[in-house]
């Protein structure tokens, strides 16, 4: 009997242990499943109409917008202007910066004033000579709404448009509401810092090439740091994103501009955009804008890749038009978290006649400093060049931290 009793006890013990392990395994699977659940989708501020519509009711409204200014729906999207009109908002006019309001104007192409054919609203160009709204253009408005998708690169001119609109509103006593959108390059700050003596429309403030802020955060910094003209302040409201952090990966459902067709071009833009200040083609005139680089005057024996730029909707007159360009294909590049000089240095080193490489004025405006060209010409490595950025980057990050809305 004692032997049988001990046998029964052992069997019972094994059963209990097995059951407990099985239960624990289920618990672990459950916890694991919970941890891999997809994060809540990011909600653009434009979609939060319940928050900002009360701020527009009974007011005459001006909107700064482009093709990215949309309200997303289950089956597509509707332009913000069309949506607000349908909701009874008294929209009086639209201000359109580079690339136009609904269209696909090429980079640097003049956008004309006119009427929107769909709504009959007047469209005022904020590109060319009239980059800043005039007092006359603002005087009938009670509030201005700014809603444009940025990509977080200093020489991408929409932050300049934001600054000039904020200045005009401040000078005219007109409040501005910024509808925030995610920054696809918002997860880092890097690159050379703009020198004050080289500021231009391609960089109006002493910030690094990649600044890691949304439009709403950047607007708060412009106001808070006194960077608007004469230190003037504007009555600013930022409508925040939902479910966004600076580490969020965000796929842009609409091209932010004609020559940034996809996520790869956007992640490469901070580094390849510097080619705009050289004679090297960076993919304009192809369907792989800012995903390749090359030139006919680069050493054909150094590369296996070549292509021929031709006029297209994003670039009517691309560099090296109809010429065979030798260079690199970067279209498989994954999401980046730094600015690299690797490709600029490679192209410079493999340029047969280096006098053809830099367009010095344009390169300085894009880089924000004449030092970068000199560093490349002197043969400095990517790592050596990046080391010279660090003090300015640390100073900027302290300023940036004061205005961050999102983790």
CATH number at residue 157: 3.40.50.12170
Asked if 98 and 216 sit in the same domain, the reply is yes
- Return the DSSP state at 210: E
Three-class DSSP category at 233: coil
Nearest to 273 by CA among 264, 285, 282: 282
Asked if 92 and 203 sit in the same domain, the reply is yes
Confirm whether 399 is domain-assigned: no
Nearest to 407 by CA among 217, 276, 260, 228: 217
Is the pTM for the entire model greater than 0.85? yes
The pairing of beta strand 236-239 with beta strand 60-65: unpaired
Asked if 196 and 267 sit in the same domain, the reply is no
Asked if 268 and 355 sit in the same domain, the reply is yes
Confirm whether 340 is domain-assigned: yes
Which contiguous run of DSSP H or E holds residue 292? Answer: strand 292-295
Q: What is the pLDDT of residue 405?
A: 98
Q: What is the largest CA-CA distance in the chain?
A: 105
Neighbours of 118 (CB within 10 A): 12
> Can you read off the two tokens belonging to residue 236?
């600013």
Asked if 85 and 194 sit in the same domain, the reply is yes
Last residue of a domain, which of 336, 352, 369?
369
Asked if 230 and 276 sit in the same domain, the reply is no
How many whole angstroms separate alpha carbon 143 and alpha carbon 117? 23
Asked if 220 and 141 sit in the same domain, the reply is yes
Confirm whether 150 is domain-assigned: yes
Neighbours of 243 (CB within 10 A): 12
Asked if 307 and 345 sit in the same domain, the reply is yes
Residue span of the structural domain in which 298 resides? 263-369
- Show the beta-strand stretches assigned E in 148-189: 176-179
> Can you read off the two tokens belonging to residue 330?
């970067």
Q: What is the pLDDT of residue 97?
A: 87
Per-residue pLDDT of the chain (407 residues; tens, 9 = 90+): 444 444 344 434 444 434 444 444 444 434 444 445 778 999 999 999 999 999 999 999 999 999 999 999 988 999 999 999 999 999 999 999 866 677 644 444 444 568 888 888 999 999 878 899 999 999 999 999 999 999 999 999 999 999 999 999 999 999 999 999 999 999 999 999 999 999 999 999 999 999 999 999 999 999 999 999 999 999 999 999 999 999 999 999 999 999 999 999 999 999 999 999 999 999 999 999 999 999 999 999 999 999 999 999 889 999 999 999 999 999 999 999 999 999 999 999 999 999 989 999 999 999 999 999 999 999 999 999 999 999 999 999 999 999 999 99
Give the sign of the dihedral formed by CA 200, CA 205, CA 211, CA 216.
negative
Q: Are the C-beta atoms of 275 and 344 separated by less than 8 Å?
A: yes
Q: Are the C-beta atoms of 161 and 204 separated by less than 8 Å?
A: no
- Show the beta-strand stretches assigned E in 82-127: 90-96, 114-115, 122-125
Confirm whether 253 is domain-assigned: no
The CA–CA distances, whole Å, from 365 to 136, 152, 212, 372 equal 31, 17, 20, 11
Asked if 69 and 184 sit in the same domain, the reply is yes
Confirm whether 280 is domain-assigned: yes
How many whole angstroms separate alpha carbon 121 and alpha carbon 63? 11
Last residue of a domain, which of 207, 239, 271?
239
Confirm whether 109 is domain-assigned: yes
Confirm whether 53 is domain-assigned: yes
Asked if 118 and 177 sit in the same domain, the reply is yes
Asked if 349 and 200 sit in the same domain, the reply is no
Number of domains the chain is built from: 2
Q: What is the pLDDT of residue 285?
A: 97
- Return the DSSP state at 405: -
Three-class DSSP category at 334: coil
Buried b (16+ CB within 10 A) or exposed e, 13-35: eeeeeeeeeeeeeeeeeeeeeee
Confirm whether 394 is domain-assigned: no
> Can you read off the two tokens belonging to residue 145?
């709404």
Asked if 357 and 269 sit in the same domain, the reply is yes
């Amino acid at each position: 009997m004692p032997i049988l009793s001990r046998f029964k006890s052992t069997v019972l013990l094994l059963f209990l242990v097995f059951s407990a392990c099985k239960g624990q395994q289920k618990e672990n699977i459950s916890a694991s499943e919970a941890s891999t659940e997809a994060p809540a989708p990011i909600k653009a501020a434009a979609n939060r109409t319940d928050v900002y519509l009360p701020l527009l009711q009974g007011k005459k409204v001006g909107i700064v917008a482009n093709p990215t200014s949309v309200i997303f729906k289950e089956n597509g999207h509707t332009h913000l202007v069309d949506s607000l009109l349908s909701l009874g908002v008294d929209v009086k006019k639209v201000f359109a910066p580079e690339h136009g309001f609904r269209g696909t104007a090429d980079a640097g192409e003049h956008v004309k004033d006119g009427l929107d054919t769909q709504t009959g609203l007047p469209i005022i160009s904020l590109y060319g000579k009239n980059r800043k709204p005039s007092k006359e253009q603002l005087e009938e408005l009670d509030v201005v709404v700014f809603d444009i998708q940025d990509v977080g690169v200093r020489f991408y001119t929409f932050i300049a448009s934001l600054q000039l609109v904020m200045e005009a509103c401040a000078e005219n006593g007109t409040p501005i509401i910024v509808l925030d959108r995610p920054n696809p390059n918002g997860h880092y700050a890097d690159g050379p810092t703009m020198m004050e003596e080289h500021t231009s429309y391609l960089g109006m403030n002493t910030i690094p090439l990649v600044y890691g802020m949304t439009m709403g955060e950047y607007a708060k910094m412009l106001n808070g740091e006194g960077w608007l003209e004469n230190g003037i302040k504007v009555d600013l409201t930022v409508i925040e994103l939902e479910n966004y952090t600076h580490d969020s990966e965000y796929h842009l459902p609409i091209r932010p501009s004609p020559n940034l067709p996809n996520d790869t071009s956007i992640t490469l833009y901070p580094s390849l955009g510097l080619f705009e200040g050289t004679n090297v083609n960076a993919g304009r005139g192809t369907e792989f804008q800012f995903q390749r680089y090359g030139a006919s005057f680069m050493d054909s024996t150094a590369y296996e890749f070549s292509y021929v730029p031709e006029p297209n909707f994003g670039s009517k007159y691309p560099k090296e038009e109809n010429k065979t360009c030798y260079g690199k294909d970067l279209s498989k590049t994954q999401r980046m978290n730094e600015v690299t000089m690797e490709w600029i240095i490679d192209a410079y080193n493999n340029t047969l006649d280096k006098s053809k490489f830099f367009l010095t004025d344009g390169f300085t405006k894009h880089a924000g400093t004449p030092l970068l060209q000199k560093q490349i010409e002197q043969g400095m490595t990517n790592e050596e060049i990046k080391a010279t950025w660090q003090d300015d980057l640390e100073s900027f990050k302290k300023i940036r931290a004061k205005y961050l809305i999102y983790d």
